[in-house]
């Protein structure tokens, strides 16, 4: 007898529609479907969360490709595929799915499936599909064999499916007053003996006293009145263990509206209950961790805040209800960024699940005066939907400490330079002082000469006046007048030198301001060398190879000067260490080479500053540590360990980076890369470290 399975689906459409609707909801899927294999291209009742009954040719085309490649028809085993969530799932694509073959007489007759769940399908989802396939299989079985009377459903493939899913099925025929039992019923209830003699009372005898009366009453009403039910209860087994049972019953009416048969599906959910319990414990633990976190945690969906932990309430000084009623742009307003979604978008451009870089911003002064906050975020699933978790930390105290440490490092640098600066200032001051003393002496002479002239001019005798004027030493006066110009020019020149030195010092003693300007990098290097000239000139030669074609760089010139100062002091100290530790006549004088140039890297233009010395070098194991705060190999009191840490922090603010190569007793080379087109903290909308790969 040839059976048209497509017609079989159509004849039972209402029941099938109801079953696969429940299946979609039970598995949290976007779609569910059933396809008769005699006409695969005709997929009946594709159900979506937006439509109770729909199907498309696009989906059918893709579905056919999936079936052809899967081997499900040949091997007759279910297929499960999980693919990374892709924000939205169009109906015409299966991104993840479970497809289960319904088998009759060793042939696949139908394919039952669910697809496009937001998160991954798990074993419990496969068991649910198997459960619902059992219900469908029984509909088809009874439709094809209405006179079937044997009390055991003997289809071996069905039995294996029920066994795998821990699902049993019993049926009561209202016409013949007879029961039908699946083998799995006896395995679940651990009943041994002649299955044909099994009664409902025997099954019910396993039900625990807490649920016995309620369950037996539901059974009676289902059989006598055809009233459907769904219940969860426990059963007691002969070995003194218990199981959790989920039972769902429904009654099929005949054409006259009278009960025809009652079907009840029983599933052993003990394992599922354990999983659910563990899941609840995990959720409770996770919730406790989040709520007890000292840092603010926000969950954002489509710019709206949908969750805020206790720390968020304290940080933003408001209520949970108020926070979750706001958009993220309303809650967090930054000084440098007009729209906080700009920061969110930076994180969302990462690979799903990746934790982004920690970023720091100053809060808007009108809302949080003198406040800095740090952020990092990650894309997550929240209530089965894509969301964004934002981690917020108040870093104001740390920023203030950093500024104090930076100033301390600058003062330590000035301490290192003090002797050299004093010598540099002492020379011009000495000859300015000498010139002033000469000017004082000349002034006294000129004043006395002027007094004498006035006294002579007051005498009435013209001849006498003329005679006394001739007695004045004109040569001395002319000498004084000639020397005055030289004295004044020398003093002005000396004053300029002092002013230049003081100006250079100002770059390192004043607190940093967010002054971004177009600066001449070569001039910054020269200015730094002016401060270090007296310190370097006795034991170190400096070779400059500065490009004349460098464009001006948008930067904080004081901070770039701080970088050069720290690098040059480190190089000089490395040279001195080598002199002390390497007793070799070949090493007579230290050398520092400074070079500036433009480099094209990864289609970006960088201004590159190279500082190379022939000092003691850095051990390989310390190269990765030199940028850590407070790391130093110097003796106590010689350095703070902040020099290169400050260099790294300044470069990060300028979207730059630094490379270091060093060999023991050979020397060290540091290369700084500053992008010509960059965003700088305090001036633009973002900052970070620009990766450079050569």
Alpha carbons 258 and 251: distance in angstroms, whole number? 10
Q: What is the DSSP string of 644-658?
A: HHHHHHHHHHTT-EE
How many CB atoms within 10 Å of residue 457?
Answer: 10
The model's confidence at residue 392, banded by pLDDT at 50, 70 and 90, is very high
In angstroms, what CA-CA distances link 243 with 85, 181, 229, 274, 690?
A: 35, 19, 20, 11, 60
Based on its alpha-carbon atoms, the radius of gyration of the chain, rounded to whole angstroms, reads 44
The model's confidence at residue 573, banded by pLDDT at 50, 70 and 90, is confident
Per-residue pLDDT of 528-565, as tens digits, reads: 888 788 778 778 899 999 999 899 999 988 888 888 98
Per-residue pLDDT of 180-230, as tens digits, reads: 888 788 888 888 765 556 788 888 889 999 999 999 999 999 988 888 999
Question: 3-class secondary structure for 255-318?
Answer: CCCCEEEEEEEEEECHHHHHHHHHHHHHHHHHHHHHHHCCCEEEEEECCEEEEECHHHHHHHCC
User: b vs e for 429-443, b when ≥16 Cβ sit within 10 Å of the residue's Cβ?
Assistant: eeebeebeeebeebe
249 pairs with which residues across the strands? 229, 264
Q: How confident is the model at residue 542, as a pLDDT?
A: 93
Per-residue pLDDT of 613-667, as tens digits, reads: 999 888 888 877 777 665 566 554 444 445 677 788 888 888 888 899 999 888 9
Q: How confident is the model at residue 76, as a pLDDT?
A: 67
Q: How confident is the model at residue 467, as a pLDDT?
A: 60
pLDDT greater at residue 60 or residue 597: 597
Q: Where do we find the tokens 């001395």?
A: 476
CB of 604 closer than 8 Å to CB of 675: yes
Phi and psi torsions of 210, nearest 5° = -65, -25
Question: Which of these ranges, 418-432, 488-502, 601-615, has the smallest mean pLDDT?
Answer: 418-432
Per-residue pLDDT of 145-155, as tens digits, reads: 544 444 444 44
The model's confidence at residue 690, banded by pLDDT at 50, 70 and 90, is very low
pLDDT greater at residue 350 or residue 512: 350
CB of 94 closer than 8 Å to CB of 115: yes
The model's confidence at residue 118, banded by pLDDT at 50, 70 and 90, is confident
Element (H, E) at 147: none
How many CB atoms within 10 Å of residue 148?
Answer: 12
Q: How confident is the model at residue 691, as a pLDDT?
A: 38
Q: How confident is the model at residue 233, as a pLDDT?
A: 94
Q: How confident is the model at residue 382, as a pLDDT?
A: 80
The model's confidence at residue 394, banded by pLDDT at 50, 70 and 90, is very high
Cα angle: 27, vertex 129, 20; to 5 degrees = 75
CA 682 vs. chain centroid, Å, equals: 22
CB of 228 closer than 8 Å to CB of 251: yes
pLDDT of 423 strictly over 80:
no
pLDDT of 598 strictly over 90:
yes
pLDDT of 594 strictly over 50:
yes
Determine what percent of the chain is predicted with pLDDT higher than 90. 14
- Alpha-helix residue ranges (DSSP H) falling in 324-395: 328-331, 341-348
Kindly report the length of the chain: 694
Alpha carbons 634 and 644: distance in angstroms, whole number? 13
In angstroms, what CA-CA distances link 685 with 358, 373, 688?
A: 15, 15, 11
Cα angle: 23, vertex 28, 31; to 5 degrees = 65
Mean pLDDT of 670-694: 60
Question: Which of these ranges, 92-106, 233-247, 400-414, 680-694, has the smallest mean pLDDT?
Answer: 680-694
Q: How confident is the model at residue 593, as a pLDDT?
A: 96
Q: Could you give the dihedral angle defined by the CA atoms of residues 131, 133, 134 and 138, in that order, rounded to the nearest 10 degrees?
A: 150
Map residue 217 onto helix, strand or coil.
helix
Per-residue pLDDT of 294-328, as tens digits, reads: 899 999 988 899 999 999 999 998 899 999 998 88
Q: How confident is the model at residue 438, as a pLDDT?
A: 77
Q: How confident is the model at residue 675, as a pLDDT?
A: 92
Question: Which of these ranges, 86-95, 421-430, 482-491, 674-683, has the smallest mean pLDDT?
Answer: 86-95
Mean pLDDT of 104-120: 79
Q: How confident is the model at residue 198, as a pLDDT?
A: 75
Question: Which of these ranges, 49-58, 395-404, 647-656, has the smallest mean pLDDT?
Answer: 49-58
Element (H, E) at 398: helix 396-457
The structure's pTM equals 0.43
pLDDT greater at residue 470 or residue 178: 178
Q: Which two tokens stand for residue 535?
A: 């310190």
Q: How confident is the model at residue 231, as a pLDDT?
A: 92
535: nearest Cα among 577, 569, 496: 569
CA torsion sign, 22 to 164 to 112 to 259? negative
Cβ-in-10-Å burial (0-12, 13-18, 19+) of 558 comes to buried
User: Helix 557-581 to helix 643-653 angle, to the nearest 10 degrees?
Assistant: 150
């Amino acid at each position: 007898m040839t059976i048209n399975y497509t017609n079989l689906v159509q004849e039972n459409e209402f029941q099938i529609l109801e079953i696969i609707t429940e299946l979609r909801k039970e598995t949290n899927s976007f779609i569910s479907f059933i396809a008769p294999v005699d006409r695969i291209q005709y997929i009946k009742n594709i159900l979506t969360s937006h439509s109770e009954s729909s199907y498309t040719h696009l989906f059918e085309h893709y579905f056919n490709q999936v079936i052809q490649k899967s081997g499900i028809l040949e091997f007759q085993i279910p297929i499960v595929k999980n693919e990374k969530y892709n924000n939205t799932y169009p109906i015409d694509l299966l991104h993840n799915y479970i497809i289960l073959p319904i088998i009759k007489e060793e042939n696949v007759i139908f394919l039952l499936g669910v697809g496009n769940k937001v998160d991954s399908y798990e074993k419990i989802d496969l068991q649910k599909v198997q459960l619902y396939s059992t219900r469908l299989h029984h509909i088809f079985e009874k439709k094809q064999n209405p006179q079937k009377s044997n009390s055991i459903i003997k289809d071996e493939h069905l039995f294996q499916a029920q066994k795998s899913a821990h699902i049993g099925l019993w049926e009561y025929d209202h016409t013949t007053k007879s029961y039908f039992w699946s083998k799995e019923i006896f395995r679940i209830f651990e009943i041994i003996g002649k299955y044909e003699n099994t009664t409902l009372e025997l099954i019910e005898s396993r039900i625990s006293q807490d649920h016995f009366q309620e369950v037996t009453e539901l059974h009676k009403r289902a059989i006598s009145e055809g009233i459907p039910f769904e219940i969860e209860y426990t059963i007691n087994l002969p070995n003194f263990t218990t199981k959790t049972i989920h039972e769902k019953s429904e009654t099929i009416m005949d054409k006259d509206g009278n009960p025809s048969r009652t079907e009840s599906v029983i599933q052993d959910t003990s394992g599922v209950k354990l999983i659910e319990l563990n899941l609840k414990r995990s959720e409770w633990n996770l919730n406790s961790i989040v709520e007890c976190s000292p840092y603010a945690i926000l969950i954002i969906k489509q710019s709206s805040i949908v969750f805020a932990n206790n720390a968020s309430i304290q940080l933003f000084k408001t209520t949970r209800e108020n926070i979750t009623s706001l958009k993220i742009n309303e809650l967090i307003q930054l000084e440098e960024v007009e729209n906080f979604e700009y920061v969110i978008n930076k994180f969302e451009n990462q690979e799903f699940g990746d934790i982004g870089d920690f970023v720091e911003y100053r809060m808007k002064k009108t809302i949080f005066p003198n406040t800095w906050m740090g952020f990092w975020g990650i894309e997550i699933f929240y209530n089965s939907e894509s969301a964004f978790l934002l981690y917020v930390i108040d870093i104001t105290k740390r920023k203030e400490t950093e500024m104090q440490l930076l100033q301390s490092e600058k003062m330590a640098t000035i301490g290192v330079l003090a002797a050299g600066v004093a010598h540099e200032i002492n020379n011009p001051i000495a000859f300015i002082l000498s010139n002033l003393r000469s000017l004082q002496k000349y002034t006294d002479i000129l004043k006395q000469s002027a007094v004498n002239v006035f006294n002579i001019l007051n005498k009435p005798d013209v001849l006498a006046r003329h005679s006394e004027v001739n007695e004045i030493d004109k040569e001395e006066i002319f000498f004084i007048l000639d020397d005055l110009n030289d004295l004044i020019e020398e003093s002005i020149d000396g004053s300029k030198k002092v002013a230049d030195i003081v100006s250079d010092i100002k770059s390192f003693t004043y607190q940093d301001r967010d002054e971004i300007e177009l600066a001449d990098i070569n001039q910054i290097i020269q200015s730094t060398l002016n401060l270090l000239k007296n310190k370097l000139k006795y034991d170190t030669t400096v070779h400059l190879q500065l490009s004349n074609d460098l464009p001006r760089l948008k930067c904080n010139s004081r901070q770039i000067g701080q970088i050069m100062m720290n690098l040059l002091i480190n190089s000089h100290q490395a040279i001195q260490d080598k002199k002390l530790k390497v007793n070799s006549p070949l090493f007579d004088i230290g050398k520092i080479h400074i070079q500036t140039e433009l480099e094209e890297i990864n289609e970006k233009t960088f201004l590159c500053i190279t500082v190379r010395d022939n000092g003691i070098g850095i051990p390989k194991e310390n190269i990765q540590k030199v940028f850590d705060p407070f790391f130093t190999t110097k003796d106590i009191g010689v350095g703070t360990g902040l020099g290169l840490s400050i260099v790294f922090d300044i470069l990060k603010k300028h979207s730059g980076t630094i490379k270091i190569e060093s060999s023991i007793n050979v020397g060290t080379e540091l290369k700084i890369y500053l992008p010509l087109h960059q965003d700088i903290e305090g001036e633009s909308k973002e900052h970070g470290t620009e990766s450079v790969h050569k």
